[in-house]
Amino acid sequence: MASNNFIDYVKINCRSGAGGAGSHHFFRAKGLPNGGPDGGDGGRGGHIILEGNSQLWTLLHLQYQKHLIAKPGQGGGENLRTGAQGDDIIIQVPLGTIARDAETGEKKLEITEHGQRLILTPGGRGGLGNDHFKSATNQAPTYAQPGEPGIDEWVILELKLLADVGLVGFPNAGKSTLLSVVSAAKPKIADYAFTTLTPNLGVVAYRDYKSFVMADIPGIIEGAAEGKGLGTRFLRHIERNSILLFTIACDSPDIAAEYNVLLSELEQFNPELLDKNRLLAITKSDMLDEELENEIRSTLPTDLPSVFISSLANKNIQQLKDLIWHALHA
């Protein structure tokens, strides 16, 4: 996903179709000048529907499509004929898309499965024809219901990537390099901070043709919750990850302190993130000899499964995959 094409937040105006009016027609025929009411019902207005599509990864196709207007329903006709329904508008969205009311922020729905269809903005109901209002005391009703109006609302569509493993770490911790080694993803890699400006996904091949999805999230720095660096804009993407893999470079002055800073930023963003399973990968460990590695190992949190890896030297990469796979299926 190129950085300039990754769109995970759009605001759109949705206008569903109004329902058609019911008919107040009376049956007339030769020899039957006073036939009863036979007005049909109006058709439903068009819905605006979201449909999950696993082939989409961003909301780019909606960035410049700000107004979605569904067709109204047709009015009812004679001989109890129901009016045609307004055409629905079906919007394809990537899995993990959440729709919120733009004014209140209230969650309306979310799409998590391929082919899943949910009504975002319902069309107005069609009005009832006068045939529905006949009775023993009112055998010739001259009125019918108008159709319900459509809904005009602003909606925010927000994407949260669905992945099994989310990479969490400071800039230049080796997250993108790791993703590029274990998957076919081609994230941007350079020797300066904030190289990754948008999340990247990669499918990691495992033993016996099994696989899992890994997400590389842009680097976090201390104070991200207050808007420093890239802030918390992309942290929503790890809310959907089953496991959080913390990546810290072996040349960090204090690995335990860096880990605690990352935990603190996650907690400030969403305390529920701390309930997820966590793993720790010490990256760039090809620079370490056995003595240094043992020294660093003694300072690591004891309640956190950890592994020393090197993406460049392919050190313990398979061991890391095993650790992730066992954690996913624990």
Residues with Cβ within 8 Å of 135's Cβ and at least 6 positions away in sequence, in order, are none
Which token pair is 32?
């039957």
| Structure tokens that stand for 291 in this block | 């003595």
Whole-angstrom distance, CA of residue 214 vs CA of residue 162:
9
- Give the annotated binding-site residues: 169-176, 194-198, 216-219, 283-286, 310-312
What burial class does residue 146 get, using C-beta atoms within 10 Å of its C-beta: 0-12 exposed, 13-18 middle, 19+ buried?
Answer: middle
Q: Residue 80: left (phi > 0), alpha (psi -120 to 50), or beta?
A: left
| Cα gap 158→3, rounded to integer Å | 17
- Hunting for tokens 């090197």 — which residue is that? 310
* Binding-site positions for Mg(2+): 176, 196
- Which ranges of the chain does DSSP label H, i.e. alpha helix? 175-182, 255-269, 290-297, 317-328
Confirm if 267 and 273 have CB atoms less than 8 A apart. yes
DSSP 225-294: GGT-TTTTTTGGGGGG-SEEEEEEETT-S-HHHHHHHHHHHHHHH-GGGGGSEEEEEEE-GGG--HHHHH
Annotated binding site for GTP: 169-176, 194-198, 216-219, 283-286, 310-312
**Eight-state DSSP code of residue 5:** G
What's the helix, strand, coil split of the chain in %, to 5? 20, 25, 55
CB atoms within 10 A of CB 159: 25
